[in-house]
């Protein structure tokens, strides 16, 4: 290769290098920086996504500490003593606060402390031992309110945060997921719990369970314990916001929750029962007992009847039937379709009011 060819080769190489450098500069000016630095930038962006600070800032100011004070009736001049300690959630600018009934049930005086340092004396608007919910009322200006969406139910696998005042050490945030939904029968047959592995300890009761947007999805109420074990087992429960909000509205309106009653006990249909009673499928509720003074007895229902429809709606199981009966205003006439000895019959029944047993 002579000198001329060598110079041409060098010039071509330099020209190619300049062209590639120009192309690289154009690409880097168009694409976002993190597209070319995936490893480092993904760490930073991932860190931002894993932070729940924004959600906490939205909800935490509306989660208050509740101090339940009791006065010694034998020595009323003595200082009040602390009987219960828990949390509550401010639901409206009017000062309505949702909490657990067991937090305030023995209190003579209730003091609510906000995170901004303000303290209020609260009055009890109403309580419902069945769902372990109570509504309190405070008077104040510019109260923080927790955001919520009744049409956005929690799903298994959702990341959640529990906010409360465990052991009176101050507001604390714990994190977990929704482990299960529809956990019923834990305090009553009418209640479906959210189950979570977010730590809920003494003092968290009545506090907020929120999603990663900072929206309230439940009211923390209980932690599962084995024997005398006071430690966390990763199994905690919260009352879904849709149910809690419905109960709150009723307590504000009536001061109590008015539930319908039918006066029966029942159980699901299994394959053996379906064969014995000659049923077409396993839908419905088998009546196992009838209160002789209740609406069902007056309407003519009897044990071994199978309730398949309630007010025109198919009955898939016990939980649905109990919910519909409880939601029916007392005095309402309802048609119930039953199967008795293989024959379908319709019974009109007048729903009575459920009388809660004294605590």
Question: Contact 329/260 with Cβ under 8 angstroms?
Answer: yes
User: Is 229 considered catalytic here?
Assistant: no
Catalytic residue among 128, 132, 211, 305: 132
**Can you tell me the distance from the alpha carbon of 22 to that of 17, in angstroms, rounded to the nearest whole number?**
9
**Can you tell me the distance from the alpha carbon of 214 to that of 171, in angstroms, rounded to the nearest whole number?**
16
Q: In 10 A of CB 272, how many CB atoms?
A: 8
User: Is 102 considered catalytic here?
Assistant: yes
Catalytic residue among 205, 211, 236, 305: 205
Element (H, E) at 251: helix 241-254
Q: In 10 A of CB 137, how many CB atoms?
A: 17
**Can you tell me the distance from the alpha carbon of 90 to that of 207, in angstroms, rounded to the nearest whole number?**
10
Catalytic residue among 87, 102, 127, 236: 102
Question: Contact 67/113 with Cβ under 8 angstroms?
Answer: yes
User: Is 132 considered catalytic here?
Assistant: yes
Cα-Cα-Cα-Cα dihedral of 7, 11, 17, 20, to 10°?
A: -150
* Strand ranges in 190-312 using DSSP code E only, listed in sequence order: 192-196, 208-211, 216-223, 236-240, 260-261, 264-268, 285-290, 306-310
User: Of the candidates 323, 84, 115, which has an alpha carbon nearest to the alpha carbon of residue 206?
Assistant: 84
The helix/strand/coil state of 287 is strand
> Which residues are annotated as catalytic?
102, 132, 205
């Amino acid at each position: 290769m002579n000198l001329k060819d060598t110079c041409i080769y060098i010039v071509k190489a330099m020209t190619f290098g300049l062209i590639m450098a120009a192309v690289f500069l154009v690409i880097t000016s168009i694409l976002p920086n993190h597209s070319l630095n995936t490893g480092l930038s993904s760490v930073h962006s991932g860190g931002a996504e894993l932070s729940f600070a924004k959600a906490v800032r939205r909800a935490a100011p509306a989660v208050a500490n509740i101090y339940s004070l009791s006065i010694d009736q034998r020595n009323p001049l003595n200082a009040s003593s602390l009987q219960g300690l828990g949390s509550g959630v401010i639901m409206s600018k009017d000062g309505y606060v949702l909490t657990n009934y067991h937090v305030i049930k023995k209190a003579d005086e209730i003091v609510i402390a906000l995170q901004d340092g303000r303290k209020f004396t609260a009055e009890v608007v109403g309580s419902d031992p069945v769902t372990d919910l109570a509504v309190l009322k405070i008077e104040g200006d510019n109260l923080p309110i927790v955001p919520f969406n009744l049409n956005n139910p929690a799903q298994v696998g959702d990341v959640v945060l529990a906010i409360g005042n465990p052991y009176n050490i101050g507001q604390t945030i714990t994190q977990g997921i929704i482990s299960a939904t529809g956990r019923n029968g834990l305090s009553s047959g009418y209640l479906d719990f959210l189950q979570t592995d977010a730590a809920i300890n003494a003092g968290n009761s009545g506090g907020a369970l929120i999603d990663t947007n900072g929206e309230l999805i439940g009211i923390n109420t209980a932690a599962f314990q084995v024997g005398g074990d006071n430690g966390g087992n990763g199994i905690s429960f919260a009352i879904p916001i849709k149910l809690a909000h419905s109960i709150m509205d009723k307590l504000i309106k009536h001061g109590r929750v008015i539930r319908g009653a039918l006066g029966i006990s029942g159980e699901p249909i299994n394959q053996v029962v379906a064969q014995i009673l000659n049923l077409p499928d396993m839908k419905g509720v088998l009546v196992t007992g009838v209160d002789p003074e209740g609406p069902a007895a007056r309407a003519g229902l009897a044990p071994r009847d199978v309730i398949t429809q309630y007010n025109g709606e198919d009955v898939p199981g016990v939980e649905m039937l109990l919910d519909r009966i409880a939601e029916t205003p007392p005095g309402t006439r309802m048609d119930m379709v039953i199967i008795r000895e293989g024959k379908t019959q319709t019974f009109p029944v007048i729903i009575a009011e459920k009388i809660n047993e004294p605590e």
